[in-house]
A and B are shown apart, each in its own frame.
Chain A
Amino acid sequence: MKIIGNWRVLPPSIRKIVRVMKISVFLVLVCTLQLSASVMLGQQVNLQSGEMSVREVFKELKAQTGTYFMFSEKEVDESLTVNANFSQVSLKEALDEMCKQTSLKYEIIDDYVLITKRPRVIEQKQEEKKELRGKVTDEKGEPLPGASVVVKETTIGVSTNLDGEFKLKIPNNGKVIILISSIGYKTKEIKVGDKLDFKVKLEPDTEVMSEVVVTGYFNKAKESFTGTTVAVSSEELEKLGNVDVFTAIQSFDASFKIVENDLMGSDPNSMPNIQIRGQANFPGISETELKGNTNMPTFILDGFEVSAQKVFDIDKNRIASITILKDASATAIYGSRAANGVVVIETKKPLAGKMQVTYNSSIDISLPDLSDYNLLNAKEKLEAEKLAGVYDTWNGDFNGMANQMELDALYNKRLLAVKSGVDTYWLAKPLQTSVGQMHSLFLEGGDEFMRYGLEMSYNKNVGVMKGSGRDRYNTGIYLQYNTKNIVFKNKLDITYVKAKNSPYGSFNQYVRLNPYYRPTDDEGNMVFKLGEGEIGSHIQQYNPLYEAEKFDNFDRNEYIDVRNNLSVDWKITSELRLKGNASISKKFANAESFVSPGSVQFIGFEEKDFFQRGSYTISDTKTTNLDANVVLSYFKNFNNHVVNAVLGGEIQSNHDFNEGYTAVGFLNDKLNHINFANQFRPNSKPTGYESESRLAGSFLSFNYSYDNRYLFDASSRIDGSSKFGKLQQTAPFWSLGTGWNLHNEEFLKDKFFLSSLKLTANLGTSGNQNFNAYQAITTYKYLSEVRYGLLTGAVLKSLGNEDLKWQSTLSRNLGVELGLLDERIKVVGNYYLNTTHDLLTNISIAPSLGFRSFNANMGDVDNEGYELRVQAFPIRNKENGMMLSFFANLRHNKNTIKKISNSLKAYNDKVIENMRKEIELDNDNDRTNDVALDDRTTTESILQFKEGQSLNAIYAVKSMGIDPTTGEEIFIKKDGSLTNVWSPEDLVVVGEAAPKFEGFFGGAFDYKGFSLNYNFNYRLGGQILNQTVIDRVENAKFYENADKRALEQRWARSGDHTPYKNITNKKVTRASSRFVEDDNSLTLTNVNLSYQLPDHFANSLSLSRVKLGVHLTDVFRWSSVETERGIYYPFARKYSFSLKVNF
């Protein structure tokens, strides 16, 4: 204490006594003191000194008023100054002014003034708080909703809204530190200075998914969401190298399944079929009535529905995130389009700042994978032929009417060829090791008002069959303009795709060719007929290479897709937001094929048809899509309640227009423009179709969470569609969901190593309206080729169904998300049961109605299953960037037909009936004389739809195997008795083609810029009817090449225990349980290694980031079934080398 004046001379003890006395005096004489204080403070002071130390001011004031000032030297520092300009003011006013300028306060005690520092509590009451605003984003600049913003060491805090923005009132004193945190991100500390507007970027903690659920229309905070979604980030996609988007997604979500296509293999132009959570449509039958594949999910790109093909051809480098919406809570807002799940893709938006360039490039090498083919070589083939009796006169099947001498000569001729070393590996002939490449360039930049992005990419995908490939060109312009409350965005996107199919035709032709033939003659000229001039062999094999290499046949298609998306995002208040989007797109597709006049097809044309040789077919399709939506969202966060409500409306229109024609009569294949054609194909007319469909819908989505513990979701949508019948034009859909964040409960907080635990349950409906545009209406068509006298007329085309409506799926989902040990172990599990009602099928009706069938909603299918995903991070060292992780996912889906229509029942019977007729015909005719019959023989599994069974059930006759004594197959009839006769009445379910469990597992290791990851795919517990064994071993036709097993594992003599019957047995083998094998497989789908150059090295090249990568796809595959895969197009292994540069 320091008292100016004589106080300071008193010893401390006395001073204390004096003080106590003063306080008691103060209490007694409070009134007088009040008076004396006011008198004291009323004294006039005058000081005009400007900036001056506080102590000096007190000295001066004492001199003028005689008042003592008491203060601590510590609190009133010498350096503390005030601006002292007091002209004829009272002492009070002077003191007030001084306190205002500093953090001091004063008290009148007796006749002196006590100066102290303002204590905190009082300060806060007195001082106004200042408001802090800010925006929290993730590392990519995407807003991060639900992040918590807290003032350090206090309870003051808020969480960010959907745009990642927050407002926080903080005390207006010196040093305030705020903590910003969000699950999955590193917590950030920020010192608040004078700046009150922040942009905070959070770095991801580990490989944690973004905490926003992107629904396409709007974003939801993930922590309060009760639906099931899976998100894939651009970094994760990047790791996989240059593969198409579908292939990339499937390793992240087990329920997203690319239906394995053993027929089309790795054809770059074959669009994969996708199922999310099982299939709900009758295969084969309904597909003709329904548009395309009806199990395909709906794809949403930047808020608008797009075709699967658009996604197939997208530049993967431009994708910011992919979100798969699976259950009712997640998909109900998509109403009548959501039943098969929704895949929402968002592309990258440009970031502000000076111009940044990102360049991605890759070189892709594909090698054909023929490991599934196990064919006889020339020597073995000849031996097999000999054994099968090809060179015996009794065997008319192969040798027609030749005599034994001719047959011996034929054998010897072939033997000579074999001995002289002819062993043509025909499979390799149409194949190549292909080299493709990809380049993608992105420029971005801008300021706080204006942002731009320019993109350009070229992706040349070369197939392993010579001449096949797919070239994709893409360019886009993105512009964004921000005003205070409104953001305008516009994206123009142009895609050009050019696809070529191989002129070498279907791969299965090459599989059949005999290896003892050579494709060229002695002079090296391509031969047309293989083994020309052979007597006795009445099956002529043609050389497909002749056609492919001698003529310029082509089969190609291309399209241009131009798309413009405009969006206006208006923040009306901090809680209310209105977003409007509009999109227009036009696609011009063109398919052309040309067959040279010299082609095999035209051999044998008569002279009068000379000008009909060669053909050119053109088909043009124009597609126009219009789509617009308006979304009004409301977000309110008060106390512990968070409410998020969204109201939206959408209209959509789709128009397809197709025309096509064929012209014939070309002179040679150099003159192959349509212009050189002589005429249209005789008796043909132009073809084409037209279809228009429209959709209008509105939706409401409501999300509420209390204290981030109890969550509730509800949404509904009403859709109207022109595809529905007159009486059914609006379709209502709804969903309800609830969830519980157990980790936010007191009793579980920081217990049992538990870092997060969330339970969710939801149910709701969604629909599918993926059928043809005019199915519900009765229409007339004009008969253009029939006249009646001089008049032409119109007739009814079909019987419409005014009650036709959407297929509706009731889905139920239970989910659990568990995180242990600070999210080092994460488990996500879901159980679902989806019932699809009102399946659209063709119904048989009484023909007296004038039509035999019409489309109606009939049939129920159940899909029940569960998904599990486990992820572990044994090493997660943030300091040195070392990370080791493993993951495994599993999916189980069981499919049950609940109800089928009468026409499907009739179909079942008809199939059986046809089989019976076919067998009858076989017995009637002397089959050995009619090779053509083979093509009519059904050896496949018989497609049947039975209530209670699965859509993937394999129907065949039960078999005991091959009788070792006779070499004949023994069948088990339905009544249990044994027989040698295959009969369609005995068809039973012998297997289930869908695997019991399937999924992926793999791991990743990151260290010092190196990153390695690998994924395995597994399938367990399903069955397959091994068609290769039936067709290429048992029914092997020895005039063409066959599987090795045909020679090696066949029954030969009594007592042989073999899986296959006698080589000379020409009886047709049909589907039986003997060929049903367990289909277990393991595939190393990809291995990726990448290295990011150290920053200083990159900088020395004046680049900001350089990343190199090696990617291996479909490295190896093990399967319990030996079956030929890639029938029309072989599979391939792909090796890519990638480069990513930022500067």
Chain B
Amino acid sequence: MSKFYIVICFLFLFTSCSDWLDVKPESEVIEEDMFESEAGYKDALVGVYSLMSARGVYGGNLTMGTLDVLAQNYNVRFNPSLTNLAKFDYTKELPEGRINQIWGSMYNVIANCNSLIGHIEQMSKESFTDDNYNLIYAESLGLRAYLHFDLLRMFNAPYVSNPDYVGIPYVTTFSKEVSRQLTSKETIAHINEDLSKAMALLEGIDPILLDDEENNSSNPFLIDRHNRMNLYAIKALMARVALYVGDKEKALSYAKEVID
């Protein structure tokens, strides 16, 4: 009978292999592995900033590129494609492409924020060094609000004239589920919610408050704090949002906090 035991042993070789099927790519990082350590969160956050600086978003289209052409800041007479853009002829190839690019890239950055937020929300403050949990969480919330705010300004009807305009969706999760389109009012509520949360997280701990530490810091993650979604940026954004919806008092109070 010993033969048969060996046979059975052979067959058991094939039973436990579910772990074996989890492969890890070398040239890219699986989402779960990315958020295994604090470094991953930092890298993902920097990734968001890097993406925002790309030409399709703030490195072009949203600054000196498309929006400035729309604002008639250039003389584009000799460039027929850009002329179409300047003439707001959105059905032509170039304007259509630019608009698609803005929409797609903005939401791609938002997806990156959401992936980060989704993971950090499942973590505890203690598992991060110093105040990094607050910083990363707050910055990504702030960025999400910032991006949506610009999308709102670009794609929705002006708030003061029509706050119930159904426009952009406010995407808060990274998944295959499509988010519903919201009215401007609802979107503003989301933006304010994210900003308030971010503000609460940063209040009192943002290194920018300790004026000289920002440049002398030995921690590269904290260097150049002014280039980040810091507490003042959040407050300034809250002021802009308040101004946008016509709440001038609130706008003034936030603006004053920044100026002072």
Contacts and interface: CB of A to CB of B under 8 A. Distances in A.
Interface stretch (B38-46, B127-135, B244-252): B38-46
B171 A850 contact: yes
Interface in A776-792: 777-783, 786-792
Nearest to B116: A796
Contacts of B227: 788-789
A690 B25 CA distance: 7
B7 A781 contact: no
B58 to A, nearest CB: 12
B78 to A, nearest CB: 17
A791 B221 contact: yes
Nearest to B51: A795
A693 interface: yes
A233 interface: no
Nearest to A572: B3
Interface in B136-195: 168-169, 171, 174-176, 178-179
B108 A786 contact: no
A649 B223 CA distance: 56
A797 interface: yes
A632 B4 CA distance: 11
A578 B26 CA distance: 37
A790 B50 CA distance: 11
B22 A787 contact: no
Interface in A788-821: 788-797, 799-801
B17 A848 contact: no
B218 to A, nearest CB: 12
Contacts of B26: 657, 690, 692
Contact of B46 (A650, A689, A791, A846): A791
B27 A689 contact: yes
Contacts of A630: 10-11, 13-14
Interface stretch (B29-37, B63-71, B201-209): B29-37
A847 B103 contact: yes
Contacts of A285: none
A796 B112 contact: yes
B50 A779 contact: no
Interface residues of A, number: 59
Contact of B50 (A722, A773, A787, A851): A787
Contacts of A578: 7, 10
A851 B7 contact: no
B20 A694 contact: yes
B114 interface: yes
Given A572-B7, A848-B169, A850-B114, A793 B45 contact: yes
A720 to B, nearest CB: 5
A777 B174 CA distance: 13
B47 interface: yes
A651 B19 CA distance: 13
Nearest to B16: A696
A848 B31 contact: no
Given A777-B31, A779-B25, A795-B50, A649 B11 contact: yes
Interface in A281-326: none
A799 B49 contact: no
Contacts of B45: 793
A851 B171 CA distance: 13
Given A783-B50, A791-B220, A846-B178, A774 B31 contact: no
A696 B18 CA distance: 9
Contact of A851 (B20, B27, B108): B108
Contact of A794 (B47, B168, B175): B47
A845 B176 contact: yes
Given A632-B7, A788-B53, A799 B17 contact: no
B17 A794 contact: no
A976 B146 CA distance: 56
A474 interface: no
A777 B23 CA distance: 10
B48 interface: yes
B49 A793 contact: yes
A74 B18 CA distance: 81
A696 B28 contact: no
B29 A780 contact: yes
A736 to B, nearest CB: 24
A579 to B, nearest CB: 10
B115 interface: yes
A975 B48 CA distance: 53
Interface in A467-490: none
Contacts of A514: none
A780 B28 contact: yes
A762 interface: no
A793 B43 contact: yes
Given A630-B10, A791-B46, A849-B107, A779 B23 contact: no
Contacts of A696: 14, 17, 20-21
B110 interface: yes
Nearest to A647: B11
B25 A773 contact: yes
A19 interface: no
A783 B47 contact: yes
A559 interface: no
B29 A793 contact: no
Given A632-B7, A649-B14, A694-B21, A786 B111 contact: no
A693 B13 contact: no
Contacts of A849: 107, 111, 171, 175-176, 178
Contacts of B104: 847, 852
Interface in A144-188: none
Contact of B25 (A651, A774, A788, A789): A774
A1112 B219 CA distance: 76
A580 B10 CA distance: 9
A794 B169 contact: no
A937 interface: no
A848 B50 contact: no
Given A630-B14, A720-B18, A780-B44, A690 B27 contact: yes
Contacts of B48: 793, 795
Contacts of B43: 780, 782, 792-794
Given A778-B30, A780-B29, A788-B49, 6 more contacts: A580-B10, A692-B25, A777-B25, A779-B31, A790-B223, A795-B50
Interface of B: 3-4, 7, 10-11, 13-14, 17-18, 20-31, 34, 40, 42-51, 53-54, 93, 100, 103-104, 107-112, 114-115, 168-169, 171, 174-176, 178-179, 220-221, 223-224, 227
List of 4 A-B pairs having minimum Cβ-Cβ separation, nearest first = A850-B111, A793-B46, A793-B47, A649-B14
14 contacts: A630-B10, A690-B26, A692-B24, A693-B23, A722-B23, A781-B27, A782-B43, A788-B49, A788-B50, A847-B103, A848-B169, A850-B109, A850-B112, A850-B114
